[in-house]
Structure 1
Amino acid sequence: MRTAHLFALANAGAVALASVELFSQCGGSLYTGDTECPSGSTCTVINDWYSQCVPRTDSSAVGTPSFGNGGFGNNGGFGNGGQATETPSSSVGDDDEDDSGEDDSSEDDSDDSTPVETDSSNDDEAVVTTPAVASSTPNTDNGSSDSDATPTGITRTLPASSGAITSSTPITVSGTFDGEMYNYDRSPTVCQAQTETGEEDAMFILEDGATLKNVIIGPGQAEGVHCQGTCTLINVWWEDVCEDAITFLQESGTSQIIGGGAFHASDKIVQFNGKGTVEISNFYAEDYGKLARSCGNCDGNTGPRNFVIDNVAAVDGGPLCGINTNYGDTCTITNSCQDSGESCTLYTGNDTGDEPTKLSEGPDGQYCVADSFSDTC
């Protein structure tokens, strides 16, 4: 099981050396590696095939997470709301994401994420800080108070977080990961504004078929979410987009973004480098460059890529989609608004890294179709 809640570790350098690092696997039915955990921790059974080195509950560590009944819930979380850290597998290397060729200097580099508390008074134990729990119910327009419900309306304000969780590496997700409205961020920060980085600087890496829901992503990450295949995002929020909010790498099939929103994206929110379809519904965008863009000049660039945008509100930004007509890309917009009336921008894409040629703006009835589209948001 590779999905897990991450907790910030402070003073980790003081942990005694052992064959297995803190929060790494130390046992399980198919496990053949080392089993010796660091001082102050113990090898705890999570399920039949996975045991993990976690701080002892009788130690002096601060806020040691509870594992409930010692098992994972069906949604990828821990039993009874318990949380732990797992070091994800190594990154899959740099992605082939490239910019659409447009320059926007309106990047907001402010970092108002909640700081993680540390305790340097204990020289023998790793310190895990458990954030205070706040309201986790999103302020949805449709009045729903069920955080597990699929959003059916647009929320225009960043929901209150349940607390802050940081990680020095991306969280790799298979299956379903429910973030329970915690704010997840990278520490130390890896954001470099519009400098192209790679998948190793993402906050979440979603394997093919994975679902990520009820998450707030902080400003310290650089690449937000990377979907290696088709994936689903439900009620996911970006507090302050760095380079891009999400990159789709699927080779075929349909991915979905349902609910949630993104703020302060100097360029793209959604970057589509693969092929197939990305559906965006009940989503809010504010202070951004483009909502969605099919890559204009990626190495080996091709298509088609299809955007289906429904019930989206976008303010203080640019077009809802940018597509390459020469690759057969399409964008269908329904029941949505953009406060400047910008719907689509059509390009001729390339695979040489050159600036893509801009053809036209607005619906052309073939590659871009807009129905019930308004400039009143």
Structure 2
Amino acid sequence: MPSKAVLIAALAGLATAARLDRRATNTALQTVFPASSGTTNLAAVKTIAAGATFDGGMKQWDRSPSTCNDQAEGGDADAVFLIQSGGTLSNVIIGPNNGEGVHCLGPCTLNNVWWTDVCEDAATFKQTSGTSYVNGGGARNGDDKVLQHNGGGTVAVKNFFVQDSGKLYRSCGNCDTQYARKSTFDNIRADGLSVLAGVNGNLGDTTVIKNSCLIDTKICWLYAGNDDGDEPTKTASAPDGVVCATSAVKTSGC
């Protein structure tokens, strides 16, 4: 028979495992916005250091006073979270009182992050290279863009729910510095968007959308991007198989 000390240690281990399990990141596709476990209002943007991981405990994180100014372009100081290269943000609900949501200065990972009411952008990716990952989570009520890709490299989105917004993703059409950007979307549920992805075919962008359900949502729009600040011209309103490629995408019956 195990000693009392061994039994106590075993029970302590089970308790620890249970706590960790309750905090585990749920990155599977969910189509119901989660309830918050509390609210935290930040007076300034919260920085996640390079390579660090922050678990928000499924609280709603917001700014006070609000930094949301409708569709006026904001900066890093208007975000809730500023993530340095290699940082990870998990289990967060971002409230409506912010202009920018999340800014990633380098490749980052967003696990189970939710935006209840997108202001200007939900997340902006500024990396010059590498891959940023959006795993699980969701966003709603974005008048324009949800995920804004201003830097280079790749943005990979999986198991994401988005509704009642403009675009889930936009490769910057008129940034001062342009890149050939890549994006991938796997197991996305979109409902009531203008379009899932907008990309710049003339700049070498590519996007792949697969295993997804897009209700009342166009698949992709292609643009001629520029670096002089002009409004980019739309060149196509459907997948072409090269710049925008699709596989197992349904627009009804799902």
**TM-score with structure 1 setting the length:** 0.60
> Which residue number corresponds to residue 269 of structure 1?
146
> Which residue number corresponds to residue 33 of structure 2?
158
* 2: CA distance, partners of 1:287 / 1:262: 9
293, 303, 314: which one pairs with 2:179? Answer: 303
SS in 1 for 2:211: strand
CA contact (8 A) 1:297 1:350 kept: yes
- For 1:224, the aligned partner's letter is G
Superposed structure 1 runs of 4+ greater than 4 Å apart = none
SS in 1 for 2:77: helix
Measured after TM superposition, the shift of residue 149 of structure 1 is 3.7
CA contact (8 A) 1:347 1:357 kept: yes
- For 2:212, the aligned partner's letter is S
* 1: CA distance, partners of 2:226 / 2:132: 24
> Which residue number corresponds to residue 178 of structure 1?
55
* 1: CA distance, partners of 2:58 / 2:214: 27
Point out the structure with max Rg over C-alpha.
1
CA contact (8 A) 2:144 2:166 kept: yes
Higher percent of residues as strand? 2
Measured after TM superposition, the shift of residue 363 of structure 1 is 1.0
> Which residue number corresponds to residue 5 of structure 2?
none
1:371 correspondence with 2:231: no
* 2: CA distance, partners of 1:170 / 1:225: 9
Measured after TM superposition, the shift of residue 316 of structure 1 is 1.0
CA contact (8 A) 2:43 2:64 kept: yes
87, 103, 110: which one pairs with 1:210? Answer: 87
**TM-score with structure 2 setting the length:** 0.89
> Which residue number corresponds to residue 148 of structure 1?
24
340, 348, 353: which one pairs with 2:216? Answer: 340
Long gaps (5+) in structure 2: 1-15
What's the C-alpha RMSD, in Å, of the aligned pairs? Answer: 1.3
SS in 2 for 1:185: strand
1:222 correspondence with 2:102: no
Measured after TM superposition, the shift of residue 341 of structure 1 is 4.8
- For 2:119, the aligned partner's letter is C
The Cα offsets for residues 163-184 of structure 1, whole Å up to 9 and x where unpaired, read as 0001110000020000000000
Higher percent of residues as helix? 2
Long gaps (5+) in structure 1: 1-79, 81-144
Closer/same/farther in 2, CA of residues 165 and 313 from structure 1, 3 Å limit: same
SS in 2 for 1:318: strand
1:330 correspondence with 2:206: yes
CA contact (8 A) 1:341 1:374 kept: no
- For 2:244, the aligned partner's letter is C
> Which residue number corresponds to residue 108 of structure 2?
231
Measured after TM superposition, the shift of residue 289 of structure 1 is 0.1
> Which residue number corresponds to residue 8 of structure 2?
none
> Which residue number corresponds to residue 133 of structure 1?
none
> Which residue number corresponds to residue 11 of structure 2?
none
CA contact (8 A) 2:191 2:217 kept: no
For 1:66-85, list aligned pairs within 5 A: none
